[in-house]
Structure 1
Amino acid sequence: MRTSARLPVALRGYDRNQVDALLKRISQALDGGPPVSADEVRAARFDVVLRGYDNRAVDELLRECIRELWARAPIRERPGRPRAHPAWLITWIQNARFSGAGLRPGYDVRDVDAFLDRVIAGLRGAAPPVTARDVRESAFRVVRLGPGYDEQEVDRFLVQLASALEH
């Protein structure tokens, strides 16, 4: 995740020094430094000043940071998140939707769907269980033309799935 994205400046916007300081802390946390929780980022407030960062651009970037922090946090450290039961995981996997890759290269839809079907079969006991390690080591063919899923969305989902399967 790039927290160092160039943010547009607006006539009145969030204080650039305050935003930059928070983004630096988030970047360090994502690189293994001192932790920053998603709740901390969500609770952050900035002064509105002249020639500050565009509010909407900052809010959007912080939403992405929060998603990334949640995805990387072990489930046991996520407040209010009980242990995931197989039935819940199955429903969650079945309801997962990924954007199409459009004109960019993307993961082969058939490969991703087949892998997720294998995970579900394992959770149901109809096939050998798929481990968190299997999820982390999964690889899919990349298609340039044809049906493909957005790679980043699939990767984010797989990080969350691996974390859920660890518990």
Structure 2
Amino acid sequence: MTKETKKYNKWIVILSITIPLVVAILFGVKIDAELPVFLPPIYASINALTSIVLIASFWAIKNKKVKLHENLMKTAIIFSVVFLVLYVAYHMTSNSTKFGGEGNLRIVYFIILISHIILSIAVIPFVLITYVRAITNNIELHKKIAKFTFPLWLYVAISGVVVYLMISPYY
């Protein structure tokens, strides 16, 4: 392991712990402010775009378009960061919406929601490790972890849209 990789690994650990903790803490902070726009459809759209970018990136690398793959992956990371900022901003300024569905639909909603939340936390170190392995040119290890990161991240992006679509009638 190179000195550069060790440095990145420290940041991966720090960010993988700090991001979920900060998000959890900020959920408890309420700001008495009205946002100029209704954010849920915006950040759901960002999740949808992230999933499209991830699929396009997968296509790019399978077709040996490495630079395109690299640019698309950077875009997916930026989209994910923007999503997170907007998501937290919404929850700091608005009360959470309760799901109003009943019966099996309610069970399906909570299964998707809970898996989405758990995997959105779990995917953070996967994305960071995968990215570091790419930028440090450790391509073989990058490919190995990307096989796990891609479906995890894609599930989180798509399930975020599904959760929004399921709860949107109750806003």
Q: Fold conserved (TM > 0.5)?
A: no
Q: Specify which structure has the bigger relative contact order, considering alpha-carbon pairs within 8 angstroms and separated by 6 or more residues.
A: 2
Q: Answer with 1 or 2: which has the greater Rg.
A: 1
Which structure: greater helix fraction? 2
TM-score by length of structure 1 reads 0.29
Please report the TM-score for the alignment, with normalisation by the length of structure 2. Answer: 0.28
